[in-house]
Structure 1
Amino acid sequence: MAPRGALTPLFEPRAIAVYGASSDPTKIGGRPLNFLKSSGFDGPLYPINPKAAQIQGLPSFATVGAVPGPVDLAIVAVPAPGVLAALEDCAAKGVGGAVVLSSGFAEVGGAGVEWQARITALARRTGMRVVGPNCMGLINVRRRLLGTFTPSAAGFGLMPGRISLVSQSGAFGGYCLSLVRQRGLGLNLWITTGNQCDVDVADCIDHFARDEGTQVIAVYLEAATDKHRLVDALALARERGKRVVVMKVGRSEAGAQAAASHTASLAGADQVYEGLFRQYGVWRARSIDELFDVAYACSVPVPAPLGRRVGLLTVSGGVGALMADVAGDCALDVAPMPDDAQRRLKELVPFCGPRNPVDMTAQLVNDLTLFGRNFQIMLEDGGYDVVVAFLSSVGQVMDLSRSLLEQLQAVLARFPDRTVVFSSLATPEVRQMYEAAGVLLFDEPTRAVRAASALVHFAEQARRAARQDPPPPLPTGAVPPPARAVNEVDAKAILASAGIPVVAERVAADGDAATREAAALGYPVVLKIASADIAHKSEIGGVIVGLRDESQVRDAYRTLMQRAADRAPLARVDGVVVARMAEPGVETILGVVRDPVFGPVVMFGLGGIFVEAFQDVVFRVAPFGVTEAQAMVAEVKGRVLLRGVRGQPPADEDALVRAIAALSVYAAAHAEAIDSIDINPLLVLPRGRGVLALDALIVPTDAA
């Protein structure tokens, strides 16, 4: 098998051959050649068609092997049964990359599945990178390379820029190309991956991350096919400071429909992707508008926000209120202006709204200098990291726009580290003028606020990446997962060896043994049915707490044995687990589930109603370090309970994040042996007292 090569022959070819080239520029085989000629691609073009001596004014060849010079890229547009032969010719010629536009493969079933498998085998055997089949092709704007048949590329009309886009869907990719032109965005590289027989989305993200001309990586993703390549590509993008914006479709309802509070039932496919994106600093767009708004915001060189404090400046009180609502939805800090600053603003415009949003009112039209003076007070006294300004339709008047920009530049000269986002209906000339000055310009104010939120996100992710720590080492004495189901005591012993603190407990085979163990541990104690066959003991009444003397322990033992016999008659019962009652703390849930694509995925959430009713859980792909575990805890909505409420002491979050990271390392080390792990509850004790796993379940893969 040849190593997987880079995508350079695809995006940076010196010469291109078009298999199945047509003299008709409206056909799939004719469009790429027509586009390449009309756009001005700077290398030789070779039509490949044995039925014609000349195609679109260029000499035609029967096979690529007959071409006199080297060929780096082949665009293949022949019927599906002939594609493999064409690619064999390309491989023999030493062609580095091929784009298969032809359809009729795995997407239609039948013989197409086998044909596609053979293309994959050829790519693996020869090292030639193959895009598709059943794709729309690729584009390199700088090279004026239009290796596509989508009508969206007709007439070129694309501006070079810092955004590169990959789409698994060809039709969606073509639509995005039209939106890029319509919005006047600068584009660098564009590719649709189709059936992904060889080149997939992860390969493209990796290539874009290495490309010096790319600053923003926009992705349309339906499903990942290879965990390690995708994770490595996202990690590389983060390392190189590239902003990744993903529109992931196909959200699963599995998590929302789950009724039981254990990991396997909470881990819907979408939750895993959400965790992966958060883990690697990806911005997940929920709409096409958001995908392009964020990509645009990240492509214009503006200062990275220093924090989440946002100032809102407006000429409309109503729009200001709308912007404030959206800023709150985005968890931005719409802090009020200081009292003295509000007084100064009132002196400028007595009927303004000085708090935040700051409403300049329509008085701006009478006195344009109000803009610069308001802006300076907001940055100087308000200390805002980002200012979003709504100026209605001022951007349609060049003189007004130029005057406001001059004032803004004078203010920003004193505050060069602040981020400014404008919202105004504007002409293309005004938009270009503002962007050249490092000011983002949006037509619609709420989209401006959301884009500002994305910039804050990427700035925070960059700071977090700088302090990212590696996963901790696996303890030397860590015990491998069991080959078959074990009771909770054995499960906790295994987890304890992996660095997860567990409660002190013992198994008692009869009532006398239970009383002896209770006395040895010290009252009060808890009794639980000990059985590897009963995964969730509380569901059958298999747990009795608060036992304070020998008599209560004997009664509880008899009760538990009867419940096991009545409610789980086929279960093997080893007796009871006797454990000392733990001191009060915050109950959390920690677990692992094996995802079919990403392998072991760690879940964390607050226990009780937060899991069962609100699905308040977060996920990460294992393994990871303490910094990532801290991010997980911060994302849980019920985190306030860990901070201490109603007089309760703060919980030991340091011990909690160490336990989460330790579990991730253990799960990754035994990825093939573990189907799921549940630690429920993991009790977080007051600060400095640690954590305790009170119950645990390990499901090995063979027992799944």
Structure 2
Amino acid sequence: MSLLHEPADPAVPRSPLDRAFRPRSVAILGASDDPTRISGRALHYLLRAGFSGGIFPVNNKRDTVQGITAYRNLADVPGTPDVALIALPSRLLAAALRECVAKGVAAAVIYAAGFAETGESGAGLQDELVEIARAGGLRLFGPNCLGLMNSASGFVGTFSSAFDAGTPKGGGVAIASQSGAYGGHLAYLCRERGLDVGYWVSTGNESDVDVATCIDWLARQDEVTVIMAYLEGATDGDRLRAALATARAHRKPVVITKVGKSAAGAVAAASHTASLAGADGVYDAVFAEFGAYRARTTQELVDIAYACDRGVFPRGRRLGIVTVSGGFGVELCDAAERYGLDVAGLPEAARARLRELNPMGSDDNPCDTTANWLNDPSLITKTFQIMYGGGDYDSVIGSFTILPDSPTFGAGIRDAIRAGTEGYLDRPTALCMQARPDVVRAYEEAGFLVFGDSDRAAHALAALARIAESFAASPHEALDPGTPTEANLSGLSEADAQEVLAEVGVPFLPSRLVHDRESADAAAREFAVALAAKIVSPDLAHKTDVGGVELDVTDAAAAFDSITTRVAAARPDARIDGVLLTPMAPSGVELIVGTSTDAVFGPVTMVGLGGVAAELHRDVVLRVGAVTVEAAREMVLGLRSAALLTGHRGAPAADLDALARLISTVSRFAVANRDRVASVELNPVLACPDRTLALDALIITHSQKGTTWISD
């Protein structure tokens, strides 16, 4: 048997990951004669699956293992194995890796636990293994992982019980999971759902190969239709973003579960695989940026992967609904609204055709056929043809309850729906139904997505629509953040922060820093308008909390006295630089724009509705890295409250271009100065019809103690 998907030209070089996922030969260090033991299971699986390459068990106490020749050490193995499965205790691993390096093995899989996930001493042992592998050009999976599988070639390099019942037949589904147990659980659920898993990998502690590395490799394989991923955290944000960008470029859907959102969950994730978890909202932003679909439950993860595996995506969000009972139509309408699908009405011409076809049924979307089809199954065929042809829907859900399971009607319903959708196979048709597994399989083989619940069906179609939108969108170009500022950024007051940010293009109102009553009075005469007065101190990030702000000031000298008196009483330890006087701002929508440095992804930019409003409603949008003006505009329009900026109830629309330029400028400043700047906050930013203005500024450096707005 030949390996599938190999380069036609054997002279074409294969990367270490190519050799790991598609090995031509496998060595098993510590292979056991007992197929039930961890050290014997992979060999048992390989033999049972009929692995098409060479299998070389290494056992210094036996001449044969599970019926095939064993070798005393790796050096005695003929040729150079592509991958080594290492089923040895931790004390023997360093020597084993040195043997792999000496032999020229491309990749090693370490099953053993007891490394970085256990604490500092284990981390030291893991670092030693990484150093050996890196120096020798050896790629590592694990430690504390369950290995990997390529079902097409029969390579089952794992001891996971998920494959006790047999090796998958080979299909387009790929699974990459930090947790081997969770990955095995997914493989089991895929088999139950009729999904054929082609590639499966567990990355464990990710001392070298991580989930991102696997996503990048899997996305480049023609045979992969969808990538399912389980992530507890990432240590290299740039690598994860690059992998997701690769998947989108190759039109490979990524459906991912990222755990560790709760405080308890984050601690559990760290102890399990020693991964560093960035703020959960940043992961959401990264997934959204590249079109990866984040599943919140395991069932959702499998549902969406199941829908993606067909490779048929809707052109938009218009949904047609066909039912045999009006109640199910109402339920589906509610689900569609929850997930952002448009249950648009039918044009009058199509409604007239439905009335003529079935006078007792409904003539709009959703369309209830009633029981008339029992006498004439062609009603189902023609109804689907009218919904697709007359309504031009991007997808259709048909709700048929338990009728498909009927020995009397089941096959006829299937054939009638198939005939009605024959000309629209470029769009997904989902069916809500309950039936025996063999009946469900027959409907799936006819080309339909089958769900037992209305909500799950609508959710899956909405996910397909969102993924299709991501595929269709043009990726934003990489943006040069510019050069770092030469200004001293430590201990900046608001006035200092405004000066630094104004130099890079952030627009502020004119202001004057005053130090006494006389200079305050002189500044007020110069402005000759009502003023905002704010205390200026590097020790006071929140001025209103200490009485440090007055608005609509007409007597600047009196305001200077009252503000400095209140602040001195509230915070006698605070350093006072003076009072900042600024003309009162024009009317507009108050926003918050800021950046913070995430431990995994680096500088992250945020835009949200107002300071207090953002905290109450969490209506914020995040984006990693330097943000283009176009991407910044998308961030603004992604706010739930975006209507306030686009002319809500007749109010003038804000200048979105000016707002987007401000967001982009702040993001570029943060990235250019990432080694010094921990966070930037402009709060509020005023979005006006003719301009955008920042009214307050705060810059915190890494050396300063402070909290950021990105948190779980």
* TM beyond 0.5: yes
Retained in 2: the 8 A contact 1:481–1:674? no
Match of 1:140 among 128, 150, 162: 150
CA distance 1:11–1:379, shift in 2 (3 Å)? same
Gaps of 5+ in 1: 255-266
3-state SS of paired residue (2:636): helix
Summarize the Cα distance change of 1:669–1:241 in structure 2 as closer, same or farther, 3 Å threshold. same
In 2 relative to 1, CA 321–273 (structure 1 residues): closer, same or farther, beyond 3 Å?
same
Residue 678 of structure 2 aligns with which residue?
675
Structure 2 residue 54 is matched with structure 1 residue 44: yes
1:268/1:562 CA distance change after superposition, 3 Å: farther
Q: Which moved more, 1:345-354 or 1:532-541?
A: 345-354
Aligned residue number for residue 506 of structure 1: 512
1:605-684 aligned within 5 A: 605-684=608-687
Whole-angstrom distance in 2 between the partners of 1:683 and 1:521: 20
1:361 counterpart residue number: 370
Which structure 2 residue ranges, 5 or more long, are not aligned? Answer: 1-13, 265-276, 706-712
Cα deviations by residue, 1:445-486 (Å, 9 ceiling, x for unpaired): 32111110011001111122x2x332554467x735643121
Aligned mate of 2:211, from 201, 205, 208: 201
CA shift in 2, pair 1:75/1:472, >3 Å: closer
Which residues in structure 2 correspond to 1:45-444 (within 5 Å)? 45-109=55-119, 111-252=121-262, 269-302=279-312, 304-339=313-348, 341-396=350-405, 403-404=412-413, 407-408=416-417, 410-412=419-421, 414-415=423-424, 417-426=426-435, 431=440, 434-436=443-445, 438-444=447-453
What is the aligned partner in structure 2 of residue 260 from structure 1?
none
Alpha-carbon separation, structure 1, partners of 2:485 and 2:499: 9
Match of 2:477 in 1: 470
* 2:524 is the counterpart of 1:518: yes
Give deviations 1:511-542, integer Å, cap 9, x for gaps: 22222223323402211112222111122221
More off after superposition, 552-561 vs 509-518: 509-518
Question: What's the CA shift for 1:435?
Answer: 4.4
SS at match of 1:576: strand
CA contact (8 A) 2:404 2:411 kept: no
Aligned pair in 2 of structure 1 residues 308, 522: CA closer, same or farther (>3 Å)?
Answer: farther
Mapped partners of 1:16, 1:108: distance in 2 = 29
3-state SS of 2:614 partner: helix
The letter for the 1-side match of 2:384 is F
Aligned mates of 1:269, 1:601 — CA distance in 2: 10
- The residue type equivalent to 1:383 in the other structure is D
- Could you tell me whether the CA contact under 8 Å between 2:512 and 2:580 is conserved in 1? yes
The letter for the 2-side match of 1:617 is V
Contact 2:50–2:154 (CA under 8 A) maintained in structure 1: yes
Identify the residue that residue 542 of structure 1 maps to in structure 2. 548
- Aligned partners of 2:186, 2:658: CA distance in 1, in Å? 47
Does the Cα contact within 8 Å between 1:471 and 1:661 map onto a contact in 2? Answer: no
User: Deviation of residue 640 (structure 1)?
Assistant: 1.8
RMSD: 2.3
CA contact (8 A) 1:5 1:129 kept: no
Distance 1:520 1:474 in 2: 37
Deviation of 1:404 (Å): 4.6
Q: Distance in 2 between matches of 1:659 and 1:420?
A: 44
Q: Give the 3 Å change call, closer, same or farther, for CA 628–401 of structure 1 in structure 2.
A: farther
Change (3 A) 1:479 1:106: closer
Per the alignment, residue 264 of structure 1 pairs with: none
Shift of 1:430: 5.3
- Counterparts of 1:3-18 in structure 2 under 5 Å? 6-18=16-28
Aligned residue identity for 1:318: G
8 Å contact 1:481–1:700 — kept in the other structure?
no
Q: Are the equivalent residues in 1 in contact too, given 2:60–2:72 (CA < 8 A)? A: yes
Does the CA-based 8 Å contact 1:300-1:435 persist in structure 2? no
- The one-letter amino acid of 1:245's match is V
Q: 1:426 to 1:639 in 2, by over 3 A?
A: same
Q: Tell me if structure 2 keeps the 8 A contact 1:470–1:624.
A: no
Distance apart, 1:339 and its partner CA: 4.8
CA offset digits 1:391-431 (Å, max 9, x no partner): 22344368856555555555545545433222223555655
Query: Could you tell me how far 1:602 is from its partner in structure 2?
Result: 1.0
Quick check: 117-126 or 358-367, which moved more? Answer: 358-367
Tell me the amino acid that sits aligned with residue 701 of structure 2.
P
What's the offset of the Cα at 1:206? 1.1
Please say if residues 395 and 427 of structure 1, whose CA atoms lie closer than 8 Å, have aligned partners that are also in contact.
no
Residue 361 of structure 2 aligns to a residue whose secondary structure is coil
Deviation at 1:610, TM superposition (A): 2.6
For the 8 Å contact 1:603–1:620, the answer to whether it is kept is: yes
Hey, what's the Cα distance between the residues in 2 that align with 1:340 and 1:440? Answer: 29
Partner of 2:270 in structure 1?
none
8 Å contact 1:523–1:580 — kept in the other structure? yes
Partner of 1:698: 699
- Superposition deviation, residue 173 in structure 1: 1.2
In the alignment, structure 1 residue 566 sits paired with structure 2 residue 569? yes
Contact 1:480 / 1:670 at 8 angstroms: preserved in 2?
no
Residue 554 of structure 1 deviates from its aligned partner by 1.7
Take 1:609 and 1:703, find their aligned partners in 2: how far apart are those partners?
24
| Counterpart AA for 1:365 | L
Structure 1 residue 458 and structure 2 residue 467: aligned? yes
Cα deviation per residue 1:333-371 (whole Å; 9 max; x = unaligned)? 122334554454344334434343222223332221111
SS at match of 1:702: coil
Q: What is the rounded CA distance, in whole Å, between the counterparts of 1:292 and 1:248 in structure 2?
A: 14
Whole-angstrom CA distance in 2 between matches of 1:291 and 1:365: 36
The residue type paired with residue 525 of structure 1 is L
Deviates more, 1:150-159 or 1:668-677: 150-159
* 8 Å CA contact retained: 2:233, 2:278: no
Deviation at 1:207, TM superposition (A): 1.0
Moved more, 373-382 or 122-131: 373-382
Summarize the Cα distance change of 1:626–1:420 in structure 2 as closer, same or farther, 3 Å threshold.
farther
The answer on whether the counterparts of 2:670 and 2:679 sit within 8 Å (CA) in structure 1 is no
For structure 1, which segment, 601-610 or 52-61, has the greater mean C-alpha deviation from structure 2 after superposition?
601-610
**Displacement of 1:36:** 0.2
Write the letter of the residue equivalent to 1:204. C
Q: In the TM superposition, what whole-angstrom CA distance separates every residue of 1:311-344 from its partner, at most 9, and x where no partner exists?
A: 1211122222222111111111122334554454
Provide the C-alpha distance between the structure 1 equivalents of 2:498 and 2:323, rounded to a whole number of angstroms. 59
Equivalent residue number for residue 262 of structure 1:
none
Question: Do the aligned partners of residues 110 and 528 (structure 1) sit closer, same or farther apart at CA in structure 2, a change above 3 Å counting?
Answer: closer
Give the whole-Å Cα distance in 2 for the aligned partners of 1:27 and 1:584. 72
Change (3 A) 1:542 1:111: closer
Q: Deviations over 1:191-211 (max 9, x none)?
A: 111111111111111111122
Cα deviation code 1:21-70 (max 9, x no counterpart): 11111001111001101101001111101011111111111111111222
Counterpart contact for 1:253–1:268, Cα < 8 Å: no
Shift in alpha-carbon separation, 1:475–1:72, aligned structure 2, 3 A = closer
Counterpart of 1:107 in 2: which secondary structure? Answer: helix
Find the aligned partners of 1:588 and 1:253 in 2 and give their Cα distance: 28
In structure 2, give the amino acid aligned to 1:358.
C
Partner AA of 1:629 in structure 2: A
